[in-house]
Amino acid sequence: MGGTAVTELGAGVFSEAGILSLRGMEAVKMLEEGCFADCNKLESLVGMGPGVTELPHACFYKCKRLKSRLGLSPNVTKFGSVAFFNSASITDINGWPLNVESIETVPFGHSFTGCTCLLPPELADRDADPAAVIMFLNAKAREGRYHAACA
């Protein structure tokens, strides 16, 4: 943006935007709530900076087309409530953080509720144990490239 590096994405900044992909986020250090919520056309996000350690509440809420090109910071350890809620097309965790520490929950689900292509049905369910989801994600990430089959 005019030669100035963007270091923070404010609450709802891209919410409901018609963007297909986003690149060049290496300088970003902080994301606020819902910054990509309801981006129904967003398919890929590449190059998130290493300074990002948390994906806040509703960060990628209902990003229904978000698939395998999800370049998260390797330093993300915390996923806010409904961070990827109903982002059902995510299939690939290659390059995802290897040490997920926490997943927040709300009465209607957890960070990955409805991610039916990424998680087995019992873990994508709203009543799934967040600790089991964390164990699954960490185990698959440590195995290397994990690409889920989606029906």
* Spans of all domains in the chain: 37-145
Which residues lie below 8 Å from residue 98, measured CB to CB, with a gap of 6+? 74, 138, 141, 142
- pLDDT, mean of residues 79-108: 83
Q: Residue type at 3?
A: G
- DSSP secondary structure of 22-33: E---TT--EE-T
Question: In 3D, which of 100, 136, 104, 142 has the Cα closest to residue 119?
Answer: 136
Convert the pLDDT of each residue in 28-86 to its tens digit.
999 999 999 999 999 888 888 888 999 999 999 999 888 766 778 888 889 999 999 99
Q: Which residues are bridge partners to 54 per DSSP?
A: 78
Check if the beta carbon of residue 71 is closer than 8 Å to that of residue 46: yes
